[in-house]
Chain A
Amino acid sequence: MKSMISRESIFNAVLLLALLAAPYIALQMDEPFYVSLATRVAILALAGVGLNIALGFGGMVSFGHAAFFGVGGYVAGILSQHAFNYEPLMTWPFTIEGTNQMLVIWPVALVVCALLALAIGSIALRTSGVYFIMITLAFAQMIYYFAISWPAYGGEDGLSIYVRNTFPSLNTMNPMSFFLICYAVLIVCLVLSMLIRDSRFGAALQVARQNEVRLASTGIAPFRIRLVAFVISAAITGLAGALYADLNRFVSPSSLSWHMSGEIMVFVILGGVGRLFGPVAGAALFIVFEFYLGGVTEHWQLFLGLVLLCVVLFARGGLIGLIAGRARHG
């Protein structure tokens, strides 16, 4: 048991170092594109880290996390568009200006997504099982159709961010600087999710997943525990969405679609559900697949499907499970 856990830790460390080293090596080899590929991995991993808190730790199978991912992206897009055009976001009852400061955008994205998750969660968490999966999907679809048909911010055409938002004393247009920002955010959120997992709150969440009755008998309401976890999870995914918008300098309703929800789920599963670093491994694997398989055949989605199917059927612990053996959680 002990050796297995340490094998996982070694793998995690290697993974993080590799993700950090990859863009440096790419720069040395004069292949700047791989820097943005690594950035993509870091951001999508972050989205997965968010979902993992609900899905892996809390057993809440949310099929609607694209809602938070997309809304986070729209927060970044909308604020920076207003800053770009020098028009305030609203003037009544008080004036809110747009901004192109990441340090302002991030907290806004976190808060907006948290509030949204509070609203969705307080309805969705009354249900469980398939109903929960489907109601989260329904909420995401609602927001998706709203974004498509609401003309103010581009509708289906999406919203361009003409100049990447800024970060104090860094040039964010430099791919390496932007990668380091995303990487740092990823590390912070990984640490945060580790703290959550090992806290009393995390333990209660674990019990809520495994045995609701037992938790209720200790006087803790499972609903509240779940709701808090759901909100934290959504906020982190929303932050990833804001970074993703900045990476692409663009946000559109497709980041709200149910395919996106499915993909974020795939990152988590591919790496290993409930593993701290599962989403990182999963996102890296997914992006590498998409990129290289896309190079081999036009029908790459078929092979992606086959690989996914094999992972679900035969490698239940995901990538980390394959390498580090069975997880300690159930």
Chain B
Amino acid sequence: MDLALLTEQLLNGVQFGVMLFLMAAGLTLVFGVMGLINLAHGSLYMIGAFFCATVAAATGSFWLGLVASLAGAAAAGAIIEIAVVRRLYDRDHLDQVLATFALILIFSEGTRWVFGSFPLYLDIPKVLQGAVALPGGSQYPVYRLAIIIVGLAIAFGLYLLISRTRLGMRIRAGESDREMIAALGVDIRNLYTVVFALGAALAGFAGAMVGALQSVQVGMGEPVLILAFVVIVIGGIGSIKGALIGSILVGVVDTMGRFLLPEFFELFMPPSQANSVGSALASMAIYILMALILALRPQGLFAARA
């Protein structure tokens, strides 16, 4: 195994992690401020991808599609918040899980009703196609580098938003004391709608970015959703910083596990069997990681409210 391959895999892990962060950030924000578990976050991811694919197909521009994914997912988020989610804030987690589980069914089947059963086409824009040479001799896809940069930029933007702006101040206030900010005259209902729509937009954006790289189809949000939950639980629910570190950790562990575990088992097993055992273990790796972390730190790595 050479250093170039190892670097490339590490980069892959980081890129996967950054992508997860876009999903996890919205999820953890919504939980931190409103105390809501939103299983339908994966549906917003799917909605973003479908908006992007449709608009890109109609206009021929991926960038317009990207804008549409942000706007469409934000709008869908706002509508869900006003129509359904608003009623769930003072319910227990059980009701929230169930209601948002129902939303998944509605969105998945509704999308299929509108768009049909076949996956949609969405491709990477021309300027981001192809690969660039990395120091060390190997090549790396431009688009994946772009995802890393955009993801980190969004993480930084979120940090600025929360620490420097008026909205961020209200969000922080909402996290620590809900009655208080209501008493201060902040319209908490609007604040909640805005926060939810922001989380939805992030998810939709992630869906569009990733959709171009993977496939745009019904149900695409579910595997990512579960990973995003693993991330925020590891990072500490409600903490943006935790979400970022959790995502990178999960991304790297998953990627390196897939790559290294089969090689490890090859040391004392025939290759075919080693691959099978190694990849079985790799597919369980992040769940094992999560169980270990929670066993040691039941509130995750960076609990927002201990």
Contact of B299 among A61, A131, A299, A304 (CB under 8 A): A131
Contact A149 B108 (CB under 8 A): no
B276 touches A138 (CB 8 A): no
Tell me the complex Cα distance, A325–B286, Å: 44
Which of B92, B109, B110, B291 gathers most chain A CB within 10 Å? Answer: B109
**A126 sits at the interface (CB 8 A):** yes
Min Cβ gap B227→A in Å is: 10
Interface membership of A312, Cβ < 8 A: yes
Instruction: Tell yes or no: B101 within 8 A of A by CB.
Output: yes
Docked complex Cα distance between A124 and B292 (Å): 11
Whether B95 lies near A312 (C-beta < 8 A) is yes
Q: Does B63 contact A (CB under 8 A)?
A: no
**Chain A residues whose C-beta falls within 8 Å of the C-beta of B94 in the assembled complex:** 55, 61, 265, 269, 273
Any A CB within 8 A of the CB of B53: no
Residues of A within 8 A of B95 (CB): 269, 312, 316
Q: Does B226 contact A (CB under 8 A)?
A: yes
Quick one: CB contact mask for A137-168 with B, threshold 8 Å, 1 for yes?
A: 11101100110111100000000000000000
* Residue of A124, A308, A312 ringed by the most chain B CB atoms within 10 A: A312
Q: Does B181 belong to the interface (CB within 8 Å)?
A: no
- A306 cross-chain contacts in B, Cβ below 8 A: 102, 106
A24–B167 Cα distance when bound, in Å, is 64
Known: A129-B93, A138-B291. A145 touches B226 (CB 8 A): no
Q: Which of B205-263 contact A (CB under 8 A)?
A: 226, 229-230, 233, 237
Q: In this assembly, does A173 line the interface, its C-beta being within 8 Å of a C-beta of chain B?
A: no
**In the complex, what residues of A have CB within 8 A of residue B110's CB?**
299, 302
**A211 interface residue (CB < 8 Å to B):** no
Q: What 0/1 pattern do residues 82 to 95 of B give for CB contact below 8 A with A? A: 00100100001111
Which of A130, A141, A302 is the one whose CB lies under 8 Å from B233? A130
CB neighbors of B among A248-307 (8 A): 258, 262, 265-266, 269, 273, 299-302, 304-306
Question: Contact at B113–A146, with CB atoms within 8 Å?
Answer: no
Convert B275-306 into 0s and 1s, putting 1 for each residue whose CB lies closer than 8 angstroms to a CB of A: 01001100110011011001100111000000
| Selected contact of B284 from candidates A146, A299, A300, CB within 8 Å | A146
Q: Which of B104, B113, B280 has the most CB of A within 10 A?
A: B280
* B-side contacts of A258, CB under 8 Å: 226
- Does B192 sit at the interface, judged by CB under 8 A? no
Q: How far does the alpha carbon of A35 sit from the alpha carbon of B17 in the complex, in Å?
A: 50
Bound Cα distance from A199 to B229, whole angstroms: 37
- CB-defined contacts of A145 to chain B, threshold 8 Å: 280, 283-284, 287
Known interface pairs A134-B230, A138-B230, A309-B99. Does A302 touch B106 (Cβ–Cβ under 8 Å)? yes
Chain A residues lying within 8 Å of B102, measured Cβ to Cβ, are 304-306, 308-309, 312
Q: Of residues A130, A145, A269, A309, which shows the largest number of chain B Cβ atoms within 10 Å of its Cβ?
A: A130
Q: How far is B304's CA from A130's CA once the two chains are assembled, in angstroms?
A: 13
Min CB gap B245→A, angstroms: 17
A301 x B93 contact (CB < 8 A): no
Q: Within 8 Å of chain A (Cβ to Cβ): is B103? A: yes
Question: How far apart sit A152 and B259, CA to CA, in the bound complex (Å)?
Answer: 24
Find B106's partner among A124, A262, A309 (CB 8 Å cutoff). Answer: A309
Choice from A148, A151, A308 contacting B101 with Cβ under 8 Å: A308
Alpha-carbon distance A142/B285, docked complex (angstroms) = 8
* Contact indicator B87/A313 (Cβ below 8 Å): yes
Instruction: List chain B residues, Cβ under 8 A from A130.
Output: 31, 37, 93, 233, 237
Q: Least Cβ distance of A217 to chain B in Å?
A: 22
Determine the distance from Cα of A265 to Cα of B87 in the docked complex, in whole angstroms: 20
Q: Within 8 Å CB of B113, what residues of A?
A: 299, 302
- CB A60 to nearest CB in B, in angstroms, measures 10
Q: Are A146 and B99 also in contact (CB < 8 A) when A61-B94, A135-B294, A141-B287 are?
A: no
Q: Which residues of A contact B57 (CB under 8 A)?
A: none
A142 with B288: CB separation less than 8 A: yes
Chain A hits for B108, CB < 8 A? 301
User: What are 16 contact pairs spanning A and B, CB under 8 A?
Assistant: A63-B97, A126-B298, A129-B93, A130-B237, A133-B93, A135-B291, A141-B284, A142-B284, A145-B283, A150-B280, A265-B101, A299-B113, A301-B108, A302-B105, A308-B105, A312-B95
3 closest A-B pairs by CB: A305-B105, A149-B280, A302-B109
Give 18 A-B pairs besides A269-B98, A305-B103 with Cβ atoms closer than 8 angstroms: A55-B94, A130-B31, A130-B37, A130-B93, A137-B226, A142-B287, A145-B280, A145-B287, A265-B98, A266-B101, A269-B95, A299-B110, A299-B112, A300-B109, A302-B106, A305-B104, A305-B105, A309-B102
Q: What is the interface of chain A, defined by CB distance below 8 A to chain B?
A: 55, 61, 63, 123-124, 126-131, 133-135, 137-139, 141-142, 145-146, 148-151, 258, 262, 265-266, 269, 273, 299-302, 304-306, 308-309, 312-313, 316
- State the B residues within 8 Å of A (CB): 31, 37, 84, 87, 92-95, 97-99, 101-106, 108-110, 112-113, 226, 229-230, 233, 237, 276, 279-280, 283-284, 287-288, 290-291, 294-295, 298-300
